[in-house]
Amino acid sequence: MSDTFSTRSESVVEALRAAILAGQFQSGERLHEVKLTALLKVSRTPVRAALQKLASEGLLDYTPNRGYTLRQFPIGEVINAYEVRAVLEGLAARLSAERGLSETERATIGQALRDGDSLLQHGHLLDEHRAEYSRINASIHETIHAAAGSRLLGDMVYLCQQVPVSSPRNVVAFEERDVRRRHDDHHRIYEAIISRDPWRAEMLMRDHVGSVKASLVRSLQPQQLAVDALRQTESAGAAGTDLTPAARRRRSLQQRS
C-alpha cells in the first residue's frame, strides 16, 4: 500500500467519522458505498476501507447481503458516555489548571470565547449557526484536553466521543438558553484554569458536561417515547392476531368501556 493511498484512506475515514458524529446519518441508516463515493468524491476502494475501519471501531454494524448501517445507540448508552466524559473532562480541567496553559493555548481558548460572545450577540440562534458553535465548542474542549498533558486521558476521552451525539463537535440540543449557559460555563472554566484553581476547574467542568447531558436527554426523550409507543402498538397488534374472534370482540368491548 502506497503512502498516498494510505493518506487518502485516512482522510476518508476522518471525513466519514466526522459526518457520523455530526449527525448527518440516522441510527440504523444504511451507508451505501456508491452514494458515499459521490459525497466524498473518491473511489469506492478507500470508502470500503473506511467503512471497515469504522465498523471495527464500533460506529457501524455490518450485515452480510445488507452492508453497513449506523449502529443504534440507546439513550441509556449515550447517558453513560456523558457520565464517563464528565469525570474524564473534569480531570482534564484540573490537570490543565495544575500545569498551566501555554500562551498558544490561552490564545486559542480566548479567541473561541470571543467568537462565542459574538455568536450570541445575534440574540436568536439559527440552524446555520450550529456549525460555527460546534467549532467553538470543540476548540475549547480539545485545547483543555491537550493542555492536560496526558495522552492516556486524551485517548479515553476520544473513546467516549465515539458514541454519536456525545462528541463536543455534535451539538444536538441547540436552544439559545442551553447554548448561552454552556458558553457561560466555558468562561468560568477558563477563569478557574488560568487562576490555577484545580478543584474549581474540575467541579465546573463536571457540572458543565452534566448540564449538556441533561439538555441532550430532553431533546432525545420525545424520539424515544415515539419509538416506545410504536413498539407497544406493534406488540399489542401482534398479540391481538393470536386471539380468537370471541376474545377479540371482548377486548374491543373492554376498550370502548
On whether residue 177 sits in a domain, the answer given is yes
CA distance 45 to 145: 34
Number of domains forming the structure of the chain: 2
Query: Are 60 and 139 members of one domain?
Result: no
Nearest residue to 160 via CA among 140, 145, 148, 175: 145
Domain membership of residue 159 (yes or no) is: yes
| pLDDT per position as a tens digit, 191-245 | 999 999 999 999 999 999 998 888 777 766 655 544 454 455 455 555 444 445 5
The answer to which of 11-15, 86-90, 170-174, 189-193 has the lowest mean pLDDT is 170-174
| Residue 253 maps to a domain | no
| 184: in domain | yes
Q: Give the pLDDT confidence score for residue 16 in this predicted structure.
A: 86
Q: Could you tell me if 36 and 47 are in contact, meaning their C-beta atoms sit under 8 angstroms apart?
A: yes
DSSP string, 106-155: HHHHHHHHHHHHHHHTTSS--GGGHHHHHHHHHHHHHHHHHHTT-HHHHH
- Joined together, the cell numbers standing for residue 233 give 402498538
What integer pLDDT is reported at residue 207 of this predicted model?
96
Higher pLDDT: 131 or 171? It is 131
Please check whether residue 89 is in contact with residue 156, taking contact to mean a CB–CB distance below 8 angstroms. no
Q: Residue 95: its pLDDT value, please?
A: 98
Q: Are residues 106 and 121 in the same domain?
A: yes
Model confidence, pTM:
0.66
% of the chain beyond a pLDDT of 70 = 76
Q: What is the CATH classification number for the domain harbouring 124?
A: 1.20.120.530
- Residues 184 and 80 occupy one common structural domain: yes
Measured distance CA(169)–CA(15) in Å, rounded? 13
**What confidence score (pLDDT) does residue 55 get?**
86
Sign of CA dihedral 115, 116, 119, 121: negative
Compute the mean pLDDT over every residue in the chain, rounded to the nearest whole number: 81
Type and span of the H or E element at 251? helix 245-256
Task: Give Cα 15 distance to the centre of its chain.
Answer: 15
228 within domain boundaries = no
Domain range spanning residue 211? 75-220
Residue pLDDT, tens place only, 45-96: 999 998 998 888 777 889 988 899 988 777 787 788 889 999 999 999 999 9
Is the domain of 161 the same as that of 201? Answer: yes
